[in-house]
Structure 1
Amino acid sequence: MAVVDIPGSKSITARALFLAAAADGVTTLTRPLRSDDTEGFAEGLTRLGYRVGRTPDTWHVDGRPQGPAATEADVYCRDGATTARFLPTLAAAGHGTYRFDASPQMRRRPLAPLTNALRDLGVDLRHEEAEGHHPLRIAAAGVEGGDVVLDAGQSSQYLTALLLLGPLTRKGLRIRVTELVSAPYVEITLAMMRAFGADVRRDGDVFEIAPGGYRATTYAVEPDASTASYFFAAAAVTGREVTVPGLGEGALQGDLGFVDVLRRMGARVRVGSDGTTVTGTGDLRGLTVNMRDISDTMPTLAAIAPFASGPVRIEDVANTRVKECDRLEACAENLRRLGIRVETGQDWIEIHPGTPVATAPVTTYGDHRVVMSFAVTGLRVPGVSFDDPGCVRKTFPGFHEAFAAWAEV
């Protein structure tokens, strides 16, 4: 049995950094993810005036409930969506003038539902170039709070950013959500806010957050379930076995639900108290699956779909079109280049069985998930290569080495 240690969750690390910065006292984060995204988040906090002490396995953050120590800052968010969406919200609760910019890739990604909601709450925020996109500037004077309506149909991160802000407002927040995608990520947010002492309640589409701030704590970051999906898929497609420790019953991340998709396709799955094991059986069946709540694992499934005995249809994943790239079309185009029949619609992709043949490098569009997903395809297809293999540094800098080591066991 091959055991793979997966790096810490990107989603949890980003939330933990926000919560630690906002908390009263010094927070210790154990096993946080160290990648381009999370290093960018920590760097952004430092530019805002927070102290972040980093060792390889432990980070210490001095919280400032009153907001950033810096009264002026220019923050570059790199490619990180959580950095680009969470840090302006954190800064809005302070007092000062703050500018946020990001990479060309991140500049293309939408931000309007969040920034419109912040404006509705009285935040003085303006976009310097394209409305609803970075760069943006905030003249912060704290946030009073109150009622706000939010459309989180493109990204649950809009809702998470507002939820995290809630305890820092003077009156608290009441958020009514009209649309929501990737709902399990919101459950991560709620659980972590409570772990840092917040009072947050949900009644259907309405979220109520009391004022009062956060308490510093020691917080352990669990392994990244989205990253684990590549190893789980690899076991299923090769007839081998893999165990990921630290990601089992009680895990916060909804993306662990990907193993249920593999179970439906014929793999054996055991989710225990201390980890999850997937064993390939040599049989992968086609299926139709709604992946709205676990859409970050859509490329993983697409990459192994040609090896199923019947068509694989993935539905309700329109939000994957506004990620680091249009992931739905990126998967479709790369599969077609491998000789696989693929159909797509606005929110679905259907992949037919076939024998992939590598004739050109996989086009990554600078997207880490495209690389890691098609690395799984490469276990069954000789010659798979990538035009930008290094973009995995966004979430898992050591992916290629770890994946090769698993494949060679």
Structure 2
Amino acid sequence: MKAIVKPTRELNGEINSLSSKNYTTRYLLAAALSEGTSTIYYPAHSEDSDAMRRCIQDLGAQMQEDHEKIVITGFGKLPSQVKELNVGNAGAVLRFLMSTAALCPEVTFVNTYPESLGKRPHDDLIHALEQMNIKVEHQNGKLPIKICGGNPKGGKIQVSGDVSSQFLSSLLFLTPLLEEDSEIEVLHDLKSKVVVGQTLDVLKQAGIQIETSDDLMFYKIPGNQKYLPQKYVVEGDYPGSAAILAAAAVTNSNVQMLRLMEDSKQGEKAAVDVLKQMGVSLTYNQSTLTIHGNHTLRAGEFDGDHFTDAVLALVAAAVFAEGSSRFYNVENLRYKECDRITDFCSELKKAGANVEERQSEIIVHGQPNGVEGGVEINAHYDHRVIMALTVVGLRSKKGLIIRDAQHVAKSYPQFFEHIQSLGAKVQLQED
């Protein structure tokens, strides 16, 4: 599917924010690992969260869902013995379930997206699992991956945090269920610490006790714990909302977004602070966030590790700022659905943007008068790239055509519907 994005002067209206994908996937797993029945209100529907639904059902979770909630009876530490699991293109789901699969005798994660998830490395988690009496067969750290488990052991575990925090989160979900106490030491740096905070928040809600160092680099996890059945409420999603906010910021707009909590623990809430620093007016009224775009943005320097999944949308906004912006500490973007530094910058240049890349930085030389556009560009099968390029297209002079736009459904299936409802001139065309 192609998205034909035409220049749009203003966005106006109100939308109900997407439910958080990150919290939904974590609540689903916590509910599956409990031995009772949990209820999750307002769960997200996206390719990622649907992949988690599908896989935990394959592992033995029983599930009933209506328009408001999902009721899950978990399998605890005794999942069904399945031979294969298909996570689609959902990297976080794969990594979370690689540890959970160690409770089974043998599970193979198949490779159905060789040009996307199939290229992503998982060596750091594999090395950690091997310290836990788990044999892992893999292709140089990539899919297909076979987990030979059945009797995982706790103890002292080391895991690198250099590439992704998802490896640590995966271990934090498994280790409380093991007979032995565990200690997890994070080596090197830890990317996306705020997202680890979301994992710890969910585990605490599920009744799991974990002792954590202040810098989130060391963890003590008592063994023989049980996940308690709970009622969970999913809040609005800041990573997806960042693209809507960026689109409103670069146009003359008045947009209200519902269900975005001012006290949210989502790291991407920092997108609000970044846009404020860029001169955009954003205000909260309870759980409604209002943004007034005025077409004028200021450049700045921003540590992207605090809001990983909002970086591309904010880079798109910075394309139209006065001055040069620098987004640093973002090397982990290279290990996502695509290389979100090289691939995204390449597409921005095609659109007429003036950007540079470093190993862990994106530098944007703003063009307040807009970029030329008028080209067809590649989304690289990446939902964040699609949303960010849409922002650029709205402020371009000749619009943009985005190929493979259907992959936005990985995290935000209603993205185009929502932005069209605000007045964005976007047409969807089947290939």
TM-score (normalizing by structure 1): 0.95
- Are residue 181 (structure 1) and residue 191 (structure 2) matched? yes
Q: Hey, what does 1:260 align to over in structure 2?
A: 273
Match of 2:231 in 1: 218
- Superposed, which structure 2 residues align to 1:234-245 within 5 Å? 234-245=247-258
| 2:352 paired residue number | 339
Question: Which residue pairs with 2:73 in the alignment?
Answer: 62
Match of 2:64 among 44, 48, 53: 53
**Are 1:391 and 2:411 counterparts?**
no
Q: Which digits, 9 at most, give the CA deviation of each residue in 1:110-142, with x for residues without a partner?
A: 111011101111112221xx2211111122223
2:419 is aligned to: 403
Counterpart of 2:101 in structure 1 is 91
Is the 8 Å Cα contact of residues 254 and 294 (structure 1) preserved in structure 2? yes
CA contact (8 A) 1:248 1:272 kept: no
State whether structure 2 residue 219 is matched by structure 1 residue 207.
yes
Secondary structure in structure 2 of the residue aligned to 1:208:
strand
Please give the alpha-carbon distance, in whole angstroms, between the structure 2 residues aligned to 1:291 and 1:202: 24
1:18 to 6, 29, 43: 29
* Cα distance in structure 1, aligned partners of 2:364 and 2:82: 50
Q: Which residue of 2 aligns with 1:274?
A: 287
Greater shift in the superposed pair: 247-256 or 19-28: 247-256
Q: Aligned partners of 2:13, 2:110: CA distance in 1, in Å?
A: 42
1:139 corresponds to: 148
Q: How far apart, CA to CA, are the structure 2 residues paired with 1:220 and 1:264? A: 31
C-alpha contact 1:143 1:170 (8 A) present in aligned 2? no
Pair 1:40 & 2:51 matched = yes
Please tell me whether the aligned partners of residues 25 and 62 of structure 1 are also in contact (alpha carbons under 8 angstroms). Answer: yes
Q: How does 1:293-304 map to 2 (within 5 A)?
A: 293-304=306-317
TM-fit CA distance, 1:109: 0.6
- Cα drift, residue 373 of structure 1: 0.9
* 1:3-53: CA deviation from partner (whole Å, max 9, x where unpaired): 221221111111111101101201111111111111111111122222222
| Contact 2:235–2:261 (CA under 8 A) maintained in structure 1 | no
Unaligned runs of 5+ in 1: none
Counterpart amino acid of residue 50 in structure 1: A
Using CA pairs below 8 Å that are at least 6 residues apart, which structure has the higher relative contact order? Answer: 2
Equivalent pair of 1:302/1:331 in contact (CA under 8 Å)? no
Q: Structure 2: where are the runs of 5+ without partners? A: 1-11, 426-431
Match of 2:428 in 1: none
Alpha-carbon spacing, 1:133–1:408, altered in 2? closer, same or farther (3 Å):
closer
AA paired with 2:276? R
Q: Deviations over 1:332-365 (max 9, x none)?
A: 1112112222211111111112231123212100
Conserved? CA contact 2:35–2:75, under 8 Å = yes
Corresponding residue of 1:172: 181
Within the candidate set 192, 203, 206, 2:202 is matched to 192
Q: Tell me the distance in 2 between the aligned counterparts of 1:215 and 1:365.
A: 40
Partner of 2:385: 370
Aligned to 2:264: 251
Write the distance in 1 (CA, Å) between the matches of 2:168 and 2:254. Answer: 37
2:28 is paired with a residue of what secondary structure?
Answer: helix
> Residue 7 of structure 2 aligns with which residue?
none
Percent identity (aligned):
29
Q: TM-score, normalised by structure 2?
A: 0.90
Distance 1:66 1:334 in 2: 45
Question: Is 1:290 equivalent to 2:303 in the alignment?
Answer: yes
Contact 2:352–2:371 under 8 Å retained in 1 = yes
Q: Kindly provide the amino acid, as one letter, of the partner of residue 203 in structure 2.
A: M
CA contact (8 A) 2:58 2:82 kept: no
- Evaluate the alpha carbon distance shift between residue 109 and residue 408 of structure 1 in structure 2; reply closer, same or farther with a 3 A threshold: closer
**2:30 aligned counterpart, secondary structure:** helix
Residue 408 of structure 1: how far off its partner (Å):
5.5
Distance change (3 Å), C-alpha of 1:375 and 1:19: same
SS where residue 278 of structure 1 aligns? strand
Match of 2:42 among 16, 21, 31: 31
- CA separation in 1, counterparts of 2:344 and 2:240? 17
Q: Higher helix proportion, which one? A: 1
Indicate if the aligned counterparts of 2:136 and 2:145 stay in contact, CA closer than 8 A: yes
CA RMSD of aligned residues (A): 1.6
Deviation, structure 1 residue 272: 4.6
What does the per-residue CA deviation read over 1:295-334, in whole Å, with 9 as the maximum and x for residues that have no partner? 2111101212221011111111111011000111122111
